[in-house]
Amino acid sequence: MVKATAGESFGEQTAHGLANAAVMVAFCSTTYGEKTGVGYETYQELKYVHEHSSECALIPCKMSPLYPPCPPDDAGQNLCKLVFSPSLVYVDGLEEKHDTPVYIPSGELANKIYEAIEKSGRLKEVHVDGGVLEQLAELTA
């Protein structure tokens, strides 16, 4: 996640973040991984992490009942089929309430993500300004 303000390039921040990441958390909506042609898109992020898997672990978060993601384009669909294999364990960001899937509370999701990063063995490599859990909670609020 980047925080670009007016006049700044979110693309440069995204590239810097990916190039220096030990872990990427993918918040998987139904269209996650879509190739939109913008350049800085989830398709490119996912492709980068897949091609650099020895340097950067992928932790997917299921944020939609449809998982793995199924973006509307062929390139995105193919990449998602490749990367989100049945053996890749995801963090479930949903729960059922009255037979309807809803997001779990952000603090709970942050804790699950923290545990997943810890289990990946890369927690010591993760650098986040401020507290890890506070940042994760802010991102999912």
> pLDDT of 60-103, one tens digit each?
999 999 999 999 999 999 999 999 999 999 999 999 999 999 99
Query: Encoding tokens for residue 62?
Result: 């299921």
* Confidence at 128, pLDDT banded by 50, 70, 90: low
Residue 135 is assigned to a structural domain of this protein: yes
Residue 1 lies in a domain: no
Number of domains in the chain: 1
Range of the domain at 70: 10-140
Tally helices (H) and strands (E) across the chain: 5, 5
Average pLDDT over residues 32-44: 91
Q: Give a yes or no: residue 85 inside a domain.
A: yes
* CA-derived radius of gyration, the chain: 15
pTM of the model: 0.83
Q: Does the residue 5 lie in any domain? A: no
- Tell me which amino acid residue 103 is: Y
Query: 40 near 74, Cβ under 8 Å?
Result: no
3 is a domain residue = no
pLDDT exceeds cutoff 60 at 129 = no
**Contact between 69 and 84 (Cβ < 8 Å):** yes
